[in-house]
Amino acid sequence: MTEKDKSTVLLEYSLKKLKLPTMLREYAALAAVCRKDRSDFPVYLLRLAERELLDRERRAAERRIKDANFPVIKTIDTYEFSAQPSINEALVRQLLSGEYLDKRENVLLIGNPGTGKTHLACALAFSACAQGRRVRFHTATDLVTQLLECREEKRLQRLHKQLQRLHLLLIDELGYVPFSKAGAELLFEVISRAYEHHSLMVTTNLAF
């Protein structure tokens, strides 16, 4: 094995140990491009680091979206505001900035079935994911079921800790199905624990 081969093996081993998969995958091809462009070594390293960073951010975003458990991916661009003229489009687009998350403020979407509440909520939550926020989607029924199961299995505190690590908890379809007294109390506890810790977004057909 030549010295060059040894260096290549050691470099690839080091990149694996440092968990830099994009650098490992692209260092040779990018080196050839930089030689052709006559780029100096710092430029080569910068380009390589930028690719690693972009790929890492992409993978992190994909993990956040997967962990959010969205039923479907929705964006604000596919929502037809013209079909719901009562909705304040300017306010919705303002919420896309995520400022309410910084302030730990809550969002309540009220309306009859078929008005696109879930679409808007998922679009806002998806935008939050893209901004690096930790988000979780639950229907109210599924969340209450999970809370009851966790209480029965003595895992309730673990679930509360998971929820409190979020930036945004989205509870969909509150009020569509009645809960037992125990279920309602557990849901109320989740909402109470969220106060001043993270934002809540709730869709409902109930009038408040």
Give the tens place of pLDDT for each residue, 63-94: 999 999 999 999 999 999 988 888 999 999 99
Structural domain span for residue 47: 3-67
The last residue of a domain, from among 17, 49, 67: 67
Residue 31 contacts residue 48 (beta carbons within 8 Å): no
The per-residue pLDDT for range 27-37, each reduced to its tens digit, is: 888 888 888 88
User: What CATH number is associated with residue 164?
Assistant: 3.40.50.300
d(CA 122, CA 172): 9
Are both 54 and 133 inside the same structural domain? no
Q: Is residue 40 domain-shared with residue 86, that is, in the same domain?
A: no
The residues pairing with 40 across neighbouring beta strands, listed in sequence order, are none
Residues 51 and 145 placed together within one structural domain of the fold: no
Encoded tokens for 146: 């999970």
Q: Tell me, what's the pLDDT at 6?
A: 76
User: Do 162 and 192 meet the contact criterion of CB atoms below 8 Å apart?
Assistant: no
Both structure tokens of 50: 């930028």
Do 58 and 96 sit in the same domain of this protein? Answer: no
| DSSP calls for 80-141 | -GGG-TTS-HHHHHHHTT-HHHHTT--EEEE--TTSSHHHHHHHHHHHHHHTT--EEEEEHH
Distance in angstroms (rounded) separating the CA atoms of residues 184 and 20? 47
Length of the chain: 208
Task: State how many domains the chain has.
Answer: 2
d(CA 141, CA 187): 10
40 and 80 share one domain:
no
67, 87, 116 — which closes off a domain?
67
Contact between 119 and 79 (Cβ < 8 Å): yes
* 126 and 156 co-located in one domain: yes
**For residue 113, what pLDDT is reported?**
85
Q: State which of 67, 89, 112 marks the end of a domain.
A: 67
Query: Are 84 and 178 contained in the same domain?
Result: yes
Q: Within this chain, do residues 94 and 157 fall inside the same structural domain, yes or no?
A: yes
On whether the pTM is more than 0.75, the answer is yes
Q: Residues 61, 83: one domain? A: no
pLDDT of residue 35: 85
| 63 and 84, same domain (yes or no) | no
Pair (81, 168) in one structural domain: yes
What is the mean pLDDT of each successive set of 10 residues along the chain, which is 208 residues long? Answer: 74 86 87 84 87 90 94 92 90 95 95 90 96 96 96 95 96 89 95 90 84
Are 62 and 134 contained in the same domain? Answer: no
Q: For 149-164, b where at least 16 C-beta lie within 10 A, e where not — what string?
A: ebeeeeebeebeeebe
